[in-house]
Amino acid sequence: MSYTEVPGVRVPIRMWTDPATVEGQAMQQLRNISSLPWISGLAVMPDVHLGKGATVGSVIAMKGAVCPAAVGVDIGCGMSAVKTSLTARDLPDNLSRLRSRIEAAIPVGRGAHPEAVDPGKLHGFPTAGWDDFWSRFDGIADAVKWRRERALSQMGTLGGGNHFVEVCTDTSGAVWLMLHSGSRNIGKELAEHHMGIAQTLPHNQGLVDRDLAVFISDTPQMGAYRQDLFWAQEYAKNNRAIMMALFQDVVRKEFPKAKVAFDPVISCHHNYVSEETYEGQELLVTRKGAIRAGSGEFGIIPGSMGTGSYIVKGLGNERAFNSASHGAGRKMSRTAAKKKFGVQDLEEQTRGVECRKDSGVVDEIPGAYKPIEKVMAQQTDLVEVVAQLKQVVCVKG
């Protein structure tokens, strides 16, 4: 579909979904964002829903400013996926052992590795720049420097909530490995530290929503935030890379006779800031629950734990700031999902998937999410589908 333009306060809101289907609170949140004096454009993806700080599924382009709450607390959260040489015929009928081995290799929830993972010991892992990355930890905010050991031990861990590790098959029968995670606790603490600072600044007093407090270019506060932001985004990318290497190692050991080969890994952030140029203007583009979909760029758009996901290639639609949705998007809150659904519903909606089927993940039930097929149909001018995946194993925190 093409977008619908909704009048905003300062800029129009370009929406790749029917505005009438978006909950009132989310629409108000979008109008609040569009009222900011630094806003240059606002694009809304089909998986849009109410978020904390800013609307999930929004692409916020600002001139000379960035809103830390719009980035969110999981800085650099995103996806990684890789196609393997395995096919569905190589998979055993009972996938519980494979799931258990993945869970043993990759800590979930609040878990961490007993010792920091040494990337030099991972099969084929590119270690160039690793020491430089960690040396830059000394330059991040003093408030979180004491978390270094925890940040080290959480590198290569999943976390909880909607984060997951999956084994999938595509429509041709090829097996894919896919995972979703971010910057773990260190990203959260950096985000909260800077959001607190932003809310105290004089230029943010009187905003319609205090969560929309921004940092302005060429100020010490912006400089400090940008440094920590980009470091945390790199942490998130490295976190997924370590997890994927551990995941691949599990698969190699589980299928030794197959001598499994892997295509290049596809990886993309969907909660982050990027410096980009549109119509000759240098802008700071915040994707809050959205992926970059520049022309020819690969991306990943997951559905819920019982439906499926898509590998896509961007079409470079500048009206959407070269963006696309980051997933199916929730249609009800976690609290509402727990009230409406039970374990039996979860079992029915995840039939055929080797995964947790207990009360601890009911809030992640497929029924709490929008239909991924509809979301994809609403962004045919943003991405083209390269592969359609269906999970057979899903690990959650």
| Active site residue ranges | 326
Q: Nearest CA to 56 among 238, 329, 365?
A: 329
Amino acid at 368: A
For residue 346, give both structure tokens: 């979860």
Burial 315-341 (b: 16+ CB within 10 A, else e): bebebbbbbbbbbbbbbbeeeebeeeb
Distance, CA of 342 to CA of 74 (rounded, Å): 28
Distance, CA of 95 to CA of 253 (rounded, Å): 14
Put residue 131 in one of left, alpha, beta given phi > 0 → left and psi -120 to 50 → alpha: alpha
Distance, CA of 136 to CA of 191 (rounded, Å): 17
Distance, CA of 210 to CA of 334 (rounded, Å): 24
Q: Nearest CA to 80 among 324, 249, 269?
A: 269
Classify 242 as helix, strand or coil.
Answer: helix
Strands of the sheet containing 4-6, edge to edge, are 4-6, 13-15, 39-49, 56-62, 281-288, 271-278
- Residue 126 to residues 109, 135, 182, 238, 314, Cα–Cα distance (Å): 27, 17, 19, 11, 26
Alpha helices in the chain (DSSP H): 24-34, 68-71, 96-105, 130-135, 148-154, 184-198, 220-254, 334-340, 343-349, 372-377
Distance, CA of 76 to CA of 232 (rounded, Å): 7
SS3 content of the chain, % helix, strand, coil (to 5): 35, 25, 35
For residue 263, give both structure tokens: 């295509």
What phi and psi, each to the nearest 5 degrees, are found at residue 131? -65, -40
Amino acid at 288: K
